[in-house]
Structure 1
Amino acid sequence: MTDMPTTSRFALPLLAVAQAQKEVTHNEALTRLDALIHPAIEAGPLAVPPSDPVNGQCWIVGAAPTGAWADQENALALWTAGGWRFVPPREGMSVTRLTDRVQLHFEAGAWIAPGVIEPPAGGSTIDSEARSAISTLILHLAAQGLLISG
């Protein structure tokens, strides 16, 4: 899809005046939108493409990508019947990683995972009820993908 007009945010292909085979451009845009509407990735960031992807599966391309992912660092890689499609990330974009349900955010040119929070420990005065409540809160936030429990 070279030399085609595209949208400014995600480079979705636009139809051109008097364009032949408009369905090709339209279908390409729908394929990308299908991955972007509710972005969920199988895993990532990864440098090596998976060997046996299934149509509709998505990954985050990691640093120093190889093979079919070469030169696509940080992009969302979507496998389709027509091969790999890549969508460059935008600042503030969020995706859910399906392997662990963690929310990754694209900030300052990198995919960022939430921080790790350890349950309370130590101290000279131990309040077991407060520690239990804090530990439960950490577990619930981790279950929502908002942080990673230690």
Structure 2
Amino acid sequence: MDETPRWALPLLFAGQAQKEIQHNEALVVVDALLHGRVESADLSAPPGAPMVGQCWIVAAGASGDWAGQADTVALWTEGGWRFVAPRAGLRVAAADRDHALFFDGTLWRSDAVRGDGVYLDEERVVGPRMAAIAAPSGGGVIDAEARSTLMDILAALRTHGLIAT
């Protein structure tokens, strides 16, 4: 075995010449994936002036230096493009979105927790916090106040997506 099973990081061998090359290559991949961040997952062609260390998820229909690399993580290094095939469970923050992306073993998917709420099957089920519902007061018209409060509670639950409208 000359590479690790999950991320195909190069392994060192006893008596190997220029071990630093293999070691440095492994560190570059670890650096890209550890607490990963991609600039975007929407580009199918390499950006014009990438900075060393920047990453992208290669979109379908890849072209140029990215041809044949759809769904991989493309990392710009001092030596050019490096591509890492995603494994199930890989999660990266996406700079151009308000949420992370994760690879389910087949597809890149949007994370459930996003800036505007929590999603289940791409449908928002919890939204931003709303103002508090006032407690009923008084007591002369209890039925009307109770109905009004219940309607406010139902409206808040619907707005959050917790119950259907």
The one-letter amino acid of 1:117's match is R
Using the TM superposition, name which of 109-118 and 28-37 deviates more: 109-118
Name 1:106's counterpart in structure 2.
Answer: 103
Check the 8 A contact 2:38/2:95 in 1, yes or no. yes
Name 1:16's counterpart in structure 2.
Answer: 13
Instruction: State how far apart, in whole Å, the 1-side matches of 2:155 and 2:94 are.
Output: 29
| Shift, 1:116, TM fit | 3.9
Question: Sequence identity, in percent?
Answer: 42
Instruction: State how far apart, in whole Å, the 2-side matches of 1:88 and 1:119 are.
Output: 33
The one-letter amino acid of 1:30's match is L
> Structure 1 pair 100/128, CA: closer, same or farther in 2 (3 Å)?
farther
Q: Deviations over 1:9-38 (max 9, x none)?
A: 001111122211111111100010001111
Structure 1 unaligned residues grouped into runs of 5+: 139-150
| Shift, 1:62, TM fit | 1.3
For the residue of structure 2 that corresponds to 1:28, the secondary structure is: helix
5 Å matches for 1:114-133? 114=111, 115-117=122-124, 127-128=151-152, 131-132=155-156
Structure 2 unaligned residues grouped into runs of 5+: 112-121, 128-147
For the residue of structure 2 that corresponds to 1:31, the secondary structure is: helix
Name 1:82's counterpart in structure 2.
Answer: 79
The CA RMSD over aligned residues, in Å, is 2.8
Instruction: State how far apart, in whole Å, the 2-side matches of 1:97 and 1:42 are.
Output: 6
| Shift, 1:118, TM fit | 7.5
Name 1:72's counterpart in structure 2.
Answer: 69
Runs ≥4 in structure 1, deviation > 2 angstroms?
Answer: 125-138
Higher relative contact order (CA 8 A, sep 6+): 1
| Shift, 1:72, TM fit | 1.2
Instruction: State how far apart, in whole Å, the 2-side matches of 1:90 and 1:17 are.
Output: 29
Of 25, 33, 41 in structure 2, the residue corresponding to residue 44 of structure 1 is 41
TM (normalized to structure 2)? Answer: 0.69
Instruction: State how far apart, in whole Å, the 1-side matches of 2:155 and 2:97 are.
Output: 25
> Structure 1 pair 119/39, CA: closer, same or farther in 2 (3 Å)?
closer
